[in-house]
Homo-oligomer: A and B are copies of this chain.
């Protein structure tokens, strides 16, 4: 995956957390993930396809998901309810959507988010994909974004001389 594709995902994450949740976040690293990746408590996944295709995976510590839900839908949230699942899906959708708008040359469209709940789950890309992994921290706790994109094969060009 090209390194220049990752900045839009970083900017989208900072922007969505700030404007939708009123929460400043900070990226604490960047890694090329070639091994099994342990995940946090709740994870959103969304597929992208177009001139590139791949997935965005965002895994949240439980407290981040609960506080984000409180910020987005109001009330107090003490456990992983349907509102929390929908919030994680919607954040995943918004971050991927914001990033794809910045990557308009790739002409990608979004699938629907799915949300994984469970301790000790791990999420793996096919071995041919080397996703980039971005850890973030916030006042609510930590979350992690992985992006794996592969450029789609280009149609052959016929040059008429």
Contacts and interface: CB of A to CB of B under 8 A. Distances in A.
Interface string A106-150: 000111111111111111111101000000000000000000101
A64 interface: no
Interface stretch (A2-10, A18-26, A52-60, A69-77): A52-60
B127 A116 contact: no
Interface in A57-115: 57, 82, 85-86, 89-90, 109-115
Nearest to A148: B112
How many copies, total? Answer: 2
A104 to B, nearest CB: 16
Max chain B C-beta neighbours (<10 A), residue from A55, A86, A113, A121: A121
Interface residues of A, number: 38
Given A48-B47, A49-B49, A82 B114 contact: no
Contact of A127 (B47, B57, B85): B85
Given A86-B127, A118-B118, A111 B57 contact: no
Nearest to A149: B112
Nearest to A90: B126
Given A85-B127, A126-B86, A45 B119 contact: no
A12 interface: no
Interface string A33-47: 000100000000111
The 4 closest A-B pairs by CB, nearest first: A47-B47, A47-B111, A118-B121, A121-B121
